[in-house]
Chain A
Amino acid sequence: MKIVIINYGAGNIQSIMFAIERLGYKAVLSNDPDEIKAADKVIFPGVGEASYAMKMLKESGLDTLIPTLKQPVFGICLGMQLMCNHSEEGDTKGLGIFDVNVVKFSKKVKVPQMGWNVIYNLKSDLFKGIAEKEYMYLVHSFYAPICAETIATTDYELEYSSALENDNFYGTQFHPEKSGDVGEKILDNFLKL
């Protein structure tokens, strides 16, 4: 199986590489459109600021490629947010894969949300064998509201989408590669889709 992690200069890529290795697979880093198109599974990571990450994505021409991919694609954290229609962070137009707009938490809570919180209302093969209310590691200031594509919910200030799915596209706000054994199981589920 060929696993490609999209390398566009934004994201803690090494942690995802290691997590995939712990699961017994190998992944390659690439920003080459042909290599990404030929992969069995594509992982789209991201940390940092949305408009900067989108700029990097555009520079490598991947903003037009990603929405056309047919194999399972997994956006993580900022990766998931960039797959939405729009992000309030830096007023950034997204890839439009998930039909929802990303907005900021209010000042009623500490921002960023940083740490472990539970995911529930799980509705996807991504969560096969995963119990409701398992703890996942999250670090984010912006969130995707609940929508038709929500497959996991988390509560911080309000209920929001901690995972999204649309056809072959999946996204999690949490970091499966940093969420202990349960997080690794979710990553494994994706690789087995």
Chain B
Amino acid sequence: MLTKRIIPCLDIKNGRTVKGVNFVDLRDAGDPVELAKIYSDEGADELVFLDISATEERRRTLVDLVRKVAATINIPFTVGGGISAVEDVEVLLQNGADKVSINSSAVKNPQLINDLAQKFGSQCVVVAIDAKQIDGEWMVHLVGGKVPTEIKLFDWAQEVEQRGAGEILFTSMNHDGTKNGFANEALAKLSELVNIPIIASGGAGNIQHFVDTFVEGKSDAALAASVFHFKEIEIKTLKKELKKNNIEVRI
């Protein structure tokens, strides 16, 4: 059976990991390559690197990082942040990234999804959607959830699938950072509406939250950052617990 996936997310700025990480055995806590290797050895199923740097230097340092990560780890990884053109994606894939994640640029230019799917295949196109529930309605937000749009989450999810997205990474702004669990109701609805995998993001605080998002939220994968970085949850322990709950995982 296809397993549920556990995906740690690393925020990258100028080629370095940001947000404190709490690994005592790390020689350099800011080195994304070393962190990636640790997560890979601990049993992470994939990794996501989110580039949040804003300088012109970004692309070069990011490409350099992608090469180093691809040379070191033997599991798939996704790169996101600041991708707005086919050429951006080409250079990342050529250097060993398996997938790219696009967010605001897909909202501003939906044709980008079609172009990427056509040129590189749907399997490497992840569309990240940040949404916030306002008066009962889930609305898409941009720029890390800061800027609201008039687009409804469920409409947009169906559109990105039709345009050729291979996967949707859904972050609930209502849940992100709360550690109170994932947005399982919205996630379950997404899973019923579209026929591509859904990655749950935002709200992971304990192991039960992962169980819930796979069972109630029908998520195909769950992404988290701080609970892994601060070792509040260890991936090995998490997977053992998921297995005890009859959730198929790779151990």
Contacts and interface: CB of A to CB of B under 8 A. Distances in A.
Interface residues of A, number: 35
Contact of A114 (B70, B94, B167): B167
A111 B120 CA distance: 17
Contact of A107 (B76, B122, B166, B195): B195
Contacts of A25: none
B250 interface: yes
Contacts of B148: none
A117 B1 CA distance: 6
Contacts of A179: 74-75
Nearest to B198: A110
B1 A114 contact: no
* B interface secondary structure, majority: loop
A139 interface: yes
A49 B197 contact: no
Interface of B: 1-5, 40, 45, 67, 70-71, 74-76, 93-96, 98, 118-124, 166-167, 195-197, 220-221, 250
Contacts of A18: 70-71, 96
A165 interface: no
Interface in A110-167: 110-118, 135, 137, 139-141, 155-156
A135 B250 CA distance: 7
A29 to B, nearest CB: 11
Nearest to B197: A114
Contact of B220 (A22, A107, A114, A140): A114
A107 B195 CA distance: 7
List 6 A-B pairs, minimum CB-CB distance, nearest first. A48-B121, A14-B96, A135-B250, A139-B123, A116-B250, A18-B71
